[in-house]
Structure 1
Amino acid sequence: MDEEARLRSICHLFDLPWEDVLIPHILCYLPLQHLVSLQRVSKQFHSLIQVYLTNCRTFDLSQIELCIPKEAFCSLLKNCRALQSLSLHNCTDWVTDKDLLPIIGQNQHLQRVDMSGCAWLTRHSLVAVSLSCTQLQHLGLAHCEWVDSLSLRSLADHCGGLLSIDLTACRQLKDDAICYLARKCVKLRSLSLAVNANVTDESVEEVAKNCRGLEQLDLTGCLRVRNPSIRTIAEYCTKLQSLKVNHCHNVTETSLDRLRQRNVVIDVEPPSQRALVLLQDVLGFGPFINLQI
């Protein structure tokens, strides 16, 4: 075989069908950070990655170790139309409504959105998510202090199939908005209301009575939550698996014991175990206890 014939017989990577072979069988296994790097190799690689991103279903920036520049973020997502999961990790310091709204508008099949820590967004982004992404199931809003009653009500009105929502440190929210959410999103399985001094027994009881399939509930630091609402949780939420009540100083063992008996994982130790831990801290070693007594 002469040299010309040999070269013709060589199959190059880009000779393979892009949408039938390269994208579904090769690129889908590469971390996002590698895909971003590949874009800079050549014009062909840049075109290939753009085709891949156009049909990409998951975009998770937690896979990229460094903070991604705004220009790269907008470039990567400008043609996306099929996203089902979007995480804004590593761009929380700069992402704004102007950057996010076009992406939300062209990806109406989103089922999971994580905006946790995005301090520069406003209620407009949450309203846009609620209006565009009616199939939404999982939403992260931890430490988004811009979330208010109006935007949460919009979410509840349009995303009734919501399964989990993280509202940790959304300090503008009060009982009225949380109760409204509980009445509209009855399929909730996971809910965090942590670090919110506005949350009272009223919210927790409304959640218990409406969201009876609840499996995880985080009330960490909800200082106004008391034993009566925990008893209501124990009565109505028979599928509960995990409850966090650390720093809820008005919640005591009298309401937690019933949940412990059902093997619910609680982040506060029973009184006897807490006493042993304190004693060990004082003495410097674990005390000997005769368990046969």
Structure 2
Amino acid sequence: MMSAMSDGEEDTQETDLFNIPWDDVLVPYIGPTLSVKDCFNLRCVSRSGKSLGESILKKVHKLVLSSTLSQNQGTIQVLRKNCKDIRILTVIPEDEEQDVPSKISAENFIILTSGLKRLQHVNLAHCVNLSPRAVHHIFVNSKYMTFLDLTRCCWLTDGALQTLMVHQRHLRDVNLRCCCQISTKCLIKLVALCSNLEQLNLQQLSSVDDSVLAAILHHCNNLNSLNLVMCQEVSPSAIERFLLMKPSVSVKQFGCRSLMCLDPTLYTLMRHNEGGGYMQMPMGLRFF
């Protein structure tokens, strides 16, 4: 008897939950607290749970996709069907600390992003299985992208980057670390066309030389952070000139060729992490 009552109480509670107004209460207030995994678990509860989970997914603006979820094509299809207004897309690597790449395939990425046109923040760091074709849609159709992280995306070619720079004029933060196929000429075009850049990471690009630094100096007036770590083709004189012309830019330059040939008395201005003021630091001590 008690067991029957308990079952009845559970049924009543479930009914009460789904009777709460979805559009006014559950979706706007409960939805933002649920992860993508939570929504998929909710879909498995009942037909009502499936409908509620998909209603919540339709309102999602930020999608953080783990490697586990990104490998399942059924999951990708559900996300494609429901998540059509994504503004922030992050694909999490298998193990970011160990540089273990994400396993999302080019095919699944194309399916996921084929209907997305409002992406503003895209993090594809360590997505080594993608291709220029896979990112073509978001490069062309997401007109207001401001953040793009392509760390260790060695598949990125000059052609793909040229497509990006033609269609994306609002980029402010770009990370091309270890994108080894990008040429010097293409980098010069990038900084010329995307002149609103505020942060630019060119770490470990052998194509970065004095001409690229000169183009950055000429075009990127809003720049406040530049990563040149291990860019060994940049000369000390080019770095010195850049720092003198743009003293407010924080430049990471450990590993640049003949770095210590620079005048040890040269000081650069760096934005203080606290308070928005400035502090002076000897350049010879700025190892990152």
Q: Verify same fold: TM over 0.5.
A: yes
Matches within 5 A, 1:35-184: 35-61=39-65, 68-71=70-73, 72-90=75-93, 93-184=102-193
Distance in 2 (alpha carbons) for counterparts of 1:35 and 1:256: 57
Q: Are the equivalent residues in 2 in contact too, given 1:168–1:195 (CA < 8 A)?
A: yes
Query: Out of 229, 238, 255, which is 2:238 matched to?
Result: 229
Is the CA contact (8 Å cut-off) linking 1:58 and 1:84 kept in structure 2?
yes
Q: Which moved more, 1:247-256 or 1:155-164?
A: 247-256
SS of the equivalent of 1:78 reads helix
Whole-angstrom distance in 2 between the partners of 1:225 and 1:33: 46
Q: C-alpha separation between the residues in 1 aligned to 2:52 and 2:286?
A: 58
Aligned partner of 2:200 among 176, 179, 191: 191
Residues 198 and 272 of structure 1: CA distance in aligned 2, closer, same or farther (over 3 Å): closer
Query: CA 1:154–1:8 in 2, change beyond 3 Å: closer, same or farther?
Result: closer
1:286 maps to what in 2?
none
Distance 1:259 1:220, change over 3 A: same
Q: Distance in 2 between matches of 1:269 and 1:36?
A: 53
Are 2:248 and 1:245 aligned?
no
Q: CA deviation at 1:198?
A: 2.1
Partners of 1:225 and 1:251 within 8 A in 2: no
Q: Distance in 2 between matches of 1:24 and 1:263?
A: 39
- Match status 1:25 vs 2:29: yes
Q: Which amino acid aligns with 1:246?
A: F
Identity score, percent: 21
Distance 1:76 1:205, change over 3 A: same
What is the CA distance between 1:199 and its match in structure 2?
Answer: 1.4
Larger Rg: 1
Contact conserved, 1:230 with 1:256, CA < 8 A, in 2? Answer: no
